[in-house]
């Protein structure tokens, strides 16, 4: 097997090049231009690492080729070769180079005179890019002289329900992609060669912005390529797919106010264009009044925060099951008095039973329960109904009282120019209530809140206190913001 350590491409850069040659060039030559990694994406990376490590236990007793060395270092490549030569049967994070391409194979398992390779994905489904990634690895392995009897993708089983200790053989599904990988070899060679030409060039490739900036992943050089775009660009059109946005942009309609009236746009996009041009609020007073009257004066404003562990932590749960760990509840009495209740589960123990008892106590009565985009709340309560049938009747009573504060915005009954077409709470709140926003909070969105909560268990005492405060501030603003938005709607029909 050749003892090569020099490489130009890696798995990451290869996949990046398939998406955009400009992104590939930036990745190699201008890594400092990369956008900051958002906490939610970093949490995804961490999750992938944890799932990958767990999958090692499917093939126990192996050696980690990257232990105490960087995965992209020549030491990892040399150590992989040494482990193969020493007769190791299982190798984790095997680093192999061929044709100036470096791959890190999650798991190599000796199969007689050959090897079986496994790439682990922390997802419930296999995407096209996963197949491309694995096919590249097969090309490098086989090209390096390592005989491969099979190459498989390992991913999480969406039907697995934890019952007792985690059963790894049921948690993971193994899918052979060997046939696909072999079929892709001519195309892979061509793509590698074209990637090398791009990287050897002296100029940044000229690539117009478009739908490739988002598919299959959101590009982490978008901040560089998009910095010339003005606010309100057509790429912000709500409910319009990326290919249509790119078409409008290429036809010269750079901003939403330039989009011609002849374009067939979804409702929210049409309101976005209209309010951008007129700078006037769209209000359907009749429909808003009907909506508000049906709710009455006594209302609970509820926001539930879930976390979704890839590896089921608790009995009766599936991978990525939505588990409620916190809620914020503002109760507005008929006289306008506000009462605030909150719940934040201790990190580690199963939070579901404690959540149920506190939630049921705090929402007693017949008042409607108003959430913003009620989907998450409905999903959480329905799952709890299934998992804890002894509370099903009471939870069903709360489900029947749930209503959605997003409805007036989703239906276009109220649209403010500063919403810029978005009906997300994070956009609606600062548009309607300028003195309230998320800008000064440590936690900016639900994905970030989930990532923070998942780290609580391992945090030290002081860090835990800071994170708990940040979570409480974020949760409180969600429902306080809903109260204030509700008041704006009430005032709009006076």
Q: Where are the domains positioned within the chain?
A: 9-200, 229-280, 285-492
| Residues contacting residue 96 through CB under 8 Å, at least 6 positions apart | 77, 80, 102, 103, 105, 140, 141, 144, 146
Q: Where are the alpha helices (DSSP H) in 118-241?
A: 128-143, 168-171, 178-200, 222-225
Print the SS3 string covering 4-17.
Answer: CCCCCEEHHHHHHH
Q: What pLDDT is attached to residue 68?
A: 83
Q: Widest CA span of the chain, in angstroms? A: 82
For residue 371, count CB atoms less than 10 angstroms from its CB and return exposed for 0-12, middle for 13-18, buried for 19 or more.
buried
Q: What is the CATH number of domain 285-492?
A: 3.30.420
* CA 161 centroid distance within chain: 22
Please measure the distance between the N-terminal and C-terminal CA atoms of the chain and give it in whole angstroms: 80
Residue 4: pLDDT band (50, 70, 90) is very low
Residue 478 pLDDT more than 90?
yes
pLDDT category at 3 given cuts 50, 70, 90 is: very low
pLDDT band at 5 (very low <50, low <70, confident <90, very high): low
Model pLDDT, residue 40: 79
Distance of alpha carbon 201 from alpha carbon 25, whole angstroms? 9
CB distance 86 to 115 below 8 Å: no
| CA 6 to each of CA 14, 74, 101, 144, 488: distance values in angstroms, whole numbers, following the listed order | 16, 8, 8, 13, 63
CA 361 vs CA 342, 364, 394: distances in Å: 12, 6, 10
Out of 3.40.1000.10, 3.90.650.10, 3.90.320.10, 3.30.365.10, the CATH code matching 9-200 is 3.90.320.10
**Residue 23 to residue 16: CA distance in whole angstroms:** 6
Band (153; pLDDT cuts 50, 70, 90): very high
Dump pLDDT digits (tens) for 137-147.
999 999 999 99
Find out whether the peptide bond into 216 is cis, omega within 30 degrees of 0: yes
CA distance to 292, 339, 368, 411, 435, per residue, from 296 (Å): 7, 17, 8, 20, 26
pTM (predicted TM-score): 0.90
313-340 pLDDT, tens digit per residue, is 999 999 999 999 999 999 999 999 999 9
pLDDT digits (tens, 9 = 90+) for 35-87: 998 887 888 888 999 999 999 999 999 999 998 887 777 899 999 999 999 99
Instruction: Write the CB contacts of 190 (distance below 8 Å, at least 6 apart in sequence).
Output: none
Look over the chain and give the mean of its residue pLDDT values, rounded to a whole number: 94
The arithmetic mean of pLDDT across residues 429-457, rounded, is 89
Tell me if 307 sits within 8 A of 320, measured CB to CB.
Answer: no
> Are 468 and 340 within 8 A, CB to CB?
no
């Amino acid at each position: 097997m050749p003892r090569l350590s020099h490489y130009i491409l890696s798995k990451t850069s290869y996949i990046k090049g398939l998406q955009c040659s400009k992104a590939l060039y930036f990745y190699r030559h201008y890594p400092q231009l990369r956008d900051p990694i958002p906490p939610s994406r970093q949490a995804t990376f961490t999750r992938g690492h944890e799932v990958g490590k767990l999958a090692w236990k499917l093939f126990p007793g192996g050696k980690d080729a990257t232990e105490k060395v960087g995965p992209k270092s020549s030491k990892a490549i040399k150590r992989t070769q040494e482990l193969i030569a020493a007769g190791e049967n299982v190798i984790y994070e095997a680093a192999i180079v061929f044709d100036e391409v470096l791959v890190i194979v999650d798991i190599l398992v000796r199969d007689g005179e050959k090897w079986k390779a496994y790439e682990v994905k922390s997802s419930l489904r296999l995407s096209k890019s996963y197949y491309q990634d694995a096919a590249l690895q097969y090309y490098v392995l086989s090209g390096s002289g390592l005989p491969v009897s099979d190459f498989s993708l390992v991913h999480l089983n969406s039907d697995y329900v934890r019952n007792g200790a985690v059963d790894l053989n049921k948690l993971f599904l193994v899918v052979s992609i060997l046939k696909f990988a072999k079929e892709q070899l001519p195309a892979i060679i061509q793509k590698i060669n074209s990637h090398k030409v791009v990287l050897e060039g002296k100029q940044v490739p000229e690539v117009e912005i478009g739908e490739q900036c988002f598919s299959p992943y959101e590009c982490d050089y978008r901040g560089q390529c998009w910095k010339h775009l003005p606010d309100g660009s057509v790429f912000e059109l709500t409910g319009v797919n990326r290919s249509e946005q790119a078409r409008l942009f290429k036809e010269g309609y750079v901003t939403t106010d330039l989009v011609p009236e002849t374009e067939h746009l979804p409702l929210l996009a049409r309101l976005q264009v209209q309010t951008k041009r007129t700078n006037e609020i769209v209000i359907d007073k009749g429909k808003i009044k009907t909506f508000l009257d049906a709710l009455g004066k006594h209302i609970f404003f509820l926001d539930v925060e879930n976390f979704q562990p890839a590896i089921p932590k608790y009995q009766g749960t599936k991978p990525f099951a939505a588990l409620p760990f916190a809620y914020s509840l503002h109760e507005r009495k008929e006289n306008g008095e506000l009462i605030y209740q909150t719940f934040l589960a201790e990190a580690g123990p199963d939070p579901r039973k404690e959540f149920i008892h506190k939630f049921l106590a705090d929402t007693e009565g017949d008042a409607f329960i108003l959430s913003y985009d009620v989907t998450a709340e409905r999903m959480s309560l329905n799952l709890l109904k299934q998992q804890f049938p002894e509370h099903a009747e009471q939870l069903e009573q709360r489900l029947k009282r749930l209503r959605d504060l997003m409805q007036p915005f989703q239906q276009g009954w109220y649209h403010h120019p500063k919403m810029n077409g978005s009906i997300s709470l994070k956009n609606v709140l600062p548009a309607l209530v300028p003195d309230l926003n998320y800008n000064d909070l440590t936690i900016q969105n639900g994905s970030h809140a989930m990532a923070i909560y998942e780290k609580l268990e391992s945090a030290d005492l002081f860090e835990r206190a800071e994170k708990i405060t940040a979570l409480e501030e974020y949760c409180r603003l969600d429902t306080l913001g809903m109260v204030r938005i509700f008041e704006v709607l009430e005032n709009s029909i006076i």
